[in-house]
Amino acid sequence: MTCSLSEITISADLEKLYLLNGFIVHYAEASGCDMTGINRVLLAVEEAFVNICRYAYPGHKGEVTVSCCLENGSLVVVFADKGIPFNMLSVPDPDISIGMDERSPGGLGIHFIRKLTSSVLYSRENGSNVLTLKFSCIRTTE
C-alpha cells in the first residue's frame, strides 16, 4: 500500500522514538483524532517501532520509513524497513488467561497492536517489510 501524504525516515534506534512520536502526534492531530485516539495510535506505533529496532537488523543498524495518510476516514500508518523478513501476523496471540509467570515471554506487543488497530496488514515488497496499521480515530467535534 502506498501511503505517502506525510513521511519520515529515521534510524531504527530506540533513542529515535521521540522523533517518531512527534511525527505521529502532529499528523494525528492534523487528521482530527481526539486524545484517546492519539494515545491508541501512539501505543501501537511504539510497539511496532520497538519490534523493528530490536529484531529487524541483528548485528547492524538500519532505517525505517513511516508514512501517514487518511483512507476512507481511517488514519493509516505504514512502516517499511529493509530488515530480515518478519510477518508479525504469523505470531499467535499469547494466552493472556494464564499468569505472567506461567506464560512464555514475548507476543504482548503484537497483541496490543492487534487490539488497538482496526486492521493490520503485512507484506514483503522489494526487499522491505511493510506493516500497515489502520486506526478508526475518534474525531474531535468543534
Query: Which bin fits 89, alpha (ψ -120 to 50), beta or left (φ > 0)?
Result: alpha
Q: What is the mean pLDDT of residues 51-74?
A: 92
Look at residue 91 in the predicted model and tell me its pLDDT. Answer: 66
Assign domain 6-135 to a CATH class: alpha beta
Record the cell numbers describing residue 62, joined without a space.
538500519
Residue 75, beta-bridge partner list:
70, 135
27-50 pLDDT tens trace:
888 778 899 999 999 999 999 999
Q: With beta carbons less than 8 A apart as the criterion, state whether 91 and 107 touch.
A: yes
Q: Does position 63 have pLDDT exceeding 90, yes or no?
A: yes
Give the domain ranges of the chain.
6-135
What amino acid occupies position 49? Answer: F
Q: Is 22 exposed, middle or buried (0-12, 13-18, 19+ CB in 10 A)?
A: exposed
To the nearest whole percent, how much of the chain has pLDDT over 70? 80
Q: Which DSSP helix (H) or strand (E) runs through 70?
A: strand 63-71
1-13 pLDDT tens trace:
455 578 999 999 9
